[in-house]
Structure 1
Amino acid sequence: MSIARQDAWTHDEDLLLAEVVLRHIREGSTQLKAFEEVGKQLSRTSAACGFRWNSFVRKQYKSGIELAKKQRKEQVVNDPDLERDSVPVVENNTIEQKSPQEEEKESITLQEVILYLTKMDEFFQLENKEKERIFEQSLLLDRENGRLLEENSLLKENLKAVEEDYRALMQIMERARKLSVQEDEKTNPKVSFQMDKNGNLERVSK
């Protein structure tokens, strides 16, 4: 069983959705069938396709929808057989007015409506689960960020302590060096010290 996609819609997918829905309107079919057709092509649920159409794509094709309806009516005028075989077109959750003969042949059943609403409900449930997952990840990242901040603060304190110890050690070594030089000068006045090119002290005779 293939897993339905939940990623963002692309511009090409919106175009495909609009093309298929408009074609179904021209042919007198239902939008539900159009959503199912697009869903199979894009590996999405028909509910997701319906939600995308009603919430975003349909607003951009108002003139195209009116033109498709007009073309459908023209086809019915030119070919009366189409009127007998036509099925109602659902637009904005309303059904176009049909003749009594057409109403008898109405193809949208209660079962189809329930199926559509069930798929829409599944879509929203998946969307809510995705939001919950993102929220949980956000909480985990916040906790990890807090832990890293505490660790960073502790490392800074440790570094400061090491630097202070290092300076204290250098001061002790400097005092010890000076005392050593003074003792050598007292015991051997003919010997003095000078610094070589590497910064080290060396004894030299006076």
Structure 2
Amino acid sequence: MKQRQDAWSHENDLLLAETVLRHVREGSTQLNAFEEVGDKLNRTSAACGFRWNAVVRHDYEKALQLAKKQRKQRMRALGNGQPVKKQLLYTPDIPNMPESNEELDFDEQEERTMMSALESHMAEVMPDDEDVSATFYSESSQPQAEVPSMQAQVPSPSYPARSVQQGQLTMNQVISFLKSYQSSNQQSEALISENKRLKLENHELTQQNKELMKKVEKLEQDTVTVQEDYETLMKIMNRARKLALFDEEDRSASTTFKMDRNGNLEKMAE
């Protein structure tokens, strides 16, 4: 099976779980933990949050509840009964703002063009995500004919240089998010396929169970019939035993009995 290059490994899941539990336990937020893990693994905080809620959290639910309990006790001890604000444990690095008159190289210009093309796709994928929608630059006022000509000319100084600030996404982060989203879709398809297989297996087992129940009912009926035959046979044997005793007591009268096909004894003439 081919392994995706951006797939989550067991070590990545372990790092994500340890970081989230540490942030929750020490009074920080899960979002701050996602940002820290995202910087360490070169992933977006949204991708880390999706991985945590979809896969990792189910294995650490008890540990998460314990961390929340410890955070509550810690906050109560620090505040002496007064509410205490959450303190973020991680502060992302913010690169310096580039000069506005700095010329963009060809790679940056090409990346900017691709960002514009991805804007509509990201709007369909995450229509309600304010963080993602805020990171793209609106280029609706520029004519579409200018897009291919941008690669052949030097960008004008009036075009603002894209800055990487907190709350914005770089091109690599967008690509990483799309790959993570595709991976989650593949996992969903695998779960749907597994669900269909289990439903089919359940249907087959139900049919087998019905057939076995019918066989059990038939065996029970056969058992009742055998029991009735046994009781009839015992009655015949008891009657024969009693008649034999009577024959011994009355030896003077030699009497012979004959059993017919129905099991009845008939007295034979001498």
TM-score, reference length from structure 2: 0.40
Match of 2:97 among 87, 90, 93: 87
Which position in structure 1 is the counterpart of 2:40?
Answer: 38
Q: Which residue of 1 aligns with 2:32?
A: 18
Equivalent residue letter for 1:121 = L
Give the structure 1 partner of residue 114 of structure 2. none
Would you say 1:183 and 2:240 are equivalent positions?
A: yes
Distance in 1, matches of 2:238 and 2:231, equals 11
CA shift for structure 1 position 36: 4.7
- Are positions 1:163 and 2:252 aligned together? no
Take 1:120 and 1:140, find their aligned partners in 2: how far apart are those partners? 30
The one-letter code sitting in structure 1 at the alignment partner of 2:174 is L
Shift of 1:130: 0.6
Answer yes or no: is 1:149 the counterpart of 2:159: no
- Aligned partners of 1:137 and 1:53: how far apart in 2? 25
Deviations 1:11-64 (A, max 9, x none): 43764751685xxxxxxxxxxxx6752326xxxxx04x344569x9xxxxxx98
Q: Distance in 1 between matches of 2:237 and 2:34?
A: 96
Contact 1:51 1:120 in 2 (8 A): yes
| Equivalent position amino acid for 2:96 in 1 | S
Distance in 2 (CA, whole Å) between partners of 1:126 and 1:39 is: 16
**Structure with more helix by fraction:** 1
Q: Superposed, which structure 2 residues align to 1:1-12 within 5 Å?
A: 3-5=7-9, 10=17, 11-12=20-21
RMSD: 4.4
Correspondence for 1:121: 178
Q: Which residue of 2 aligns with 1:204?
A: none
SS at match of 1:189: helix
Structure 2 unaligned residues grouped into runs of 5+: 24-28, 53-85, 99-129, 137-156, 250-270
1:100-158: CA deviation from partner (whole Å, max 9, x where unpaired): 9xx66x555xxx84322221110110000010111111111111111111111111111
Query: How many angstroms apart in 1 are the aligned matches of 2:33 and 2:39?
Result: 11
Q: Distance in 2 between matches of 1:159 and 1:136?
A: 35
Given residue 4 of structure 1, which amino acid in structure 2 is its aligned partner?
W
After superposition, the Cα gap between the structure-2 partners of 1:19 and 1:177, relative to the gap in structure 1 and judged at 3 Å, is: closer
Instruction: Name structure 1 gaps, 5 residues minimum.
Output: 22-33, 41-45, 57-62, 73-84, 193-206
Q: Using the alignment, how far apart are the partners of 1:20 and 1:160 within structure 2?
A: 60
Correspondence list, 1:42-121, <5 A: 46-47=43-44, 49-52=45-48, 86-87=96-97, 92=131, 93-94=134-135, 108=164, 113-121=170-178
Deviation readout 1:48-97 (Å, 9 max, x if unpaired): x344569x9xxxxxx989xx8xxx9xxxxxxxxxxxx7237xx93349xx
Match of 1:43 in 2: none
- Distance in 2, Cα, partners of 1:161 & 1:137: 36
Are the equivalent residues in 1 in contact too, given 2:34–2:46 (CA < 8 A)? no
Q: Which shifted more, 162-171 or 180-189?
A: 180-189
